[in-house]
Each structure stands twice: as structure tokens, then as C-alpha cells.
Amino acid sequence: MSFVVIIPARYESSRLPGKPLKLIAGTSMIQRVWQQACKSDASRVIIATDDARIEAAASGFGAEVCITRSNHESGTNRLQEVVTKLRFSDDQLVVNVQGDEPLIPPEVINQVADNLGLNPVAGVATLCEPIFEKSVLHNPNVVKVISRADGMANYFSRAPIPFRRDELPDSPIEAYRHIGIYAYRVSELNSFMTWPPAPVERIESLEQLRFLYNQVSIHVDNAVARVPAGVDTLEDLLAVEKLLDDQAKNK
């Protein structure tokens, strides 16, 4: 399945300024993300940024870079600018890999692209994984997803869904965490730009709900590999460094 990976990367971050250029065991985070994406089956891997420092760094390690505007409301808007600038066809498949996921497995990038290609009724595809801890289920920073019998998303929420009305002490959780990797058809990215934010999107602060609100199906599948959490804070950065250090010691 032919697809292109686009990695949005902004320099500004309220919790970790300059995040894409932070070093992890001597290599910048954006380079690590790019390296993981290059291990996938993508025909092209493009870094989309509005910052000259990120452009210089990415060009230095050999990445293709597309400069975008600085006033985008979301990564989806930034992706749409890239596909427009590069004149991608409406049926081109594009995978959005977040620029703060330096450990993303290449196989899940392939998985989400293949799932979209194999499900022509879907305009978007994404992934999920089971939740095993109640603290995760009730964390509003962890997005949950419920799917239909046909594998399409029913709803995404920051709330603990499904809500178990009659919970017993040993009840299994039976809930799924949404993993923020997406595959899009370019035609749906273009449509996204014509729609105002959906009322439910504003309430939940989840832009994928705009697709559901406008009757675009989102395919959801269990990730074939565990996807480590992304880097939002200095503590997250140090945790990734420790994980890499532990892996090196165990080789």
C-alpha cells in the first residue's frame, strides 16, 4: 500500500520549548522520529515545520522538509497545507506521525496505512490499545475510543467510556486508549479544512470528532505493537532516555 508519512514539528511548546531539537542519548527527537518513520514502508517521509532551526537540523540529517505557516490551529491543518503545496492527488494516503514520538514502531505506521487502504468506506484510520489501569481510564489526558462492530469509530472522549454503571471490585475495564497516529485520504484532509469546528469537538477538544460529525468514517484497530507514550515534558524525555539506556544494557 503506497503512502507518505508527514511529521509535523513545531519549535514552540508550552511544557517543553524547543522539543523537536531536544537530544535523546545524543540524537535529536525529531531525527529519532524520522528514523523510525524511514523504517516503515512509506514512499516518502516529510518533516513539516514552521521553524528555521528545525528545517536546518532536518536538512542536516538528510530529511525532506516542507516549510509551513506558523498560524495553524492544529497538526491536521499543517498536514493539509503540505499536501496542497506538494500537489498530492485526492486518493493519496498520508500518515501523520507525531513529532514527539521518538519510539514509534514502524510496524504500526504500516498498519494504519494498510488499514485505510483496505477499507475504502473510511476516510481516516487510527489505532488503539486496551486499558488495564483505572487511573488511565479516568485520566482526561488519555483519549478513549469506542468502536462499532464493523471496526469504525463510534466516539472518542476524554471521559471514561464506556461507563460501567454497576461496577464490581474485580470487573475488567474493557476500554481502549486511542493512539494518536492517523492515516488520511487527501480528499478528506481537504474537506476537513472546509468544515467549522464541530460543537462536540469544542466540548471535548478533540479534532477527530469533526470527521465523525461530518459523517466521515474512522477505522480503528488494535495496534500490532505497543506504542510508548510521546514526549510532552522534561520528565517524559528523561524516561525515554532511561528506556533506551536500559535496552542498550540488555543487548
| pLDDT tens figures, 90-112 | 999 999 999 989 999 999 999 99
Q: Which of 18-22, 43-47, 59-63 has the lowest mean pLDDT?
A: 18-22
pTM for this prediction? 0.92
Residues 238, 206: Cα–Cα separation, whole Å: 28
Residues 68, 70: Cα–Cα separation, whole Å: 7
Residues 30, 99: Cα–Cα separation, whole Å: 6
Q: Which domains does the chain have, with CATH numbers?
A: 1-103 (3.90.550.10), 115-178+194-227 (3.90.550.10)
Residues 242, 95: Cα–Cα separation, whole Å: 28
Per-residue model confidence (pLDDT) at position 163: 85
Q: Which of 46-50, 217-221, 230-234 has the lowest mean pLDDT?
A: 230-234
Nearest Cα to Cα of residue 108 among 182, 30, 161: 182
Higher pLDDT, 118 or 234: 118
Per-residue model confidence (pLDDT) at position 247: 75
Residue 67 has pLDDT above 70, yes or no: yes
Residues 103, 48: Cα–Cα separation, whole Å: 19
SS3 content of the chain, % helix, strand, coil (to 5): 35, 25, 40
Residues 41, 5: Cα–Cα separation, whole Å: 9
Q: What is the mean pLDDT of residues 195-208?
A: 95
Q: Which three cell numbers stand for residue 80?
A: 493539509
Residue 14 has pLDDT above 80, yes or no: no
* Strands (DSSP E) found in 85-237: 93-96, 122-131, 144-147, 153-157, 175-185, 217-222
Per-residue model confidence (pLDDT) at position 233: 84
Tell me the per-residue pLDDT of 138-191, one tens digit each, with 9 for 90 and over.
Answer: 999 899 999 999 999 999 999 999 988 776 666 777 899 999 999 999 999 999
Q: Which of 54-68, 203-217, 227-241 has the lowest mean pLDDT?
A: 227-241
224 within 8 A of 127, measured Cβ to Cβ: no
Per-residue model confidence (pLDDT) at position 168: 65
46 within 8 A of 33, measured Cβ to Cβ: no
Per-residue model confidence (pLDDT) at position 251: 67
Percentage above 70 pLDDT, the chain: 96
Per-residue model confidence (pLDDT) at position 120: 95
- Rounded to 10°, the helix 29-38/52-60 angle is 50
Alpha helices in the chain (DSSP H): 29-38, 52-60, 75-85, 106-118, 134-137, 186-192, 199-204, 208-213, 234-249
102 within 8 A of 37, measured Cβ to Cβ: no
Task: Name residue, grid cell 524511514.
Answer: 38
Per-residue model confidence (pLDDT) at position 165: 78
Per-residue model confidence (pLDDT) at position 16: 84
Residues 161, 140: Cα–Cα separation, whole Å: 11
Per-residue model confidence (pLDDT) at position 169: 64
Per-residue model confidence (pLDDT) at position 106: 97
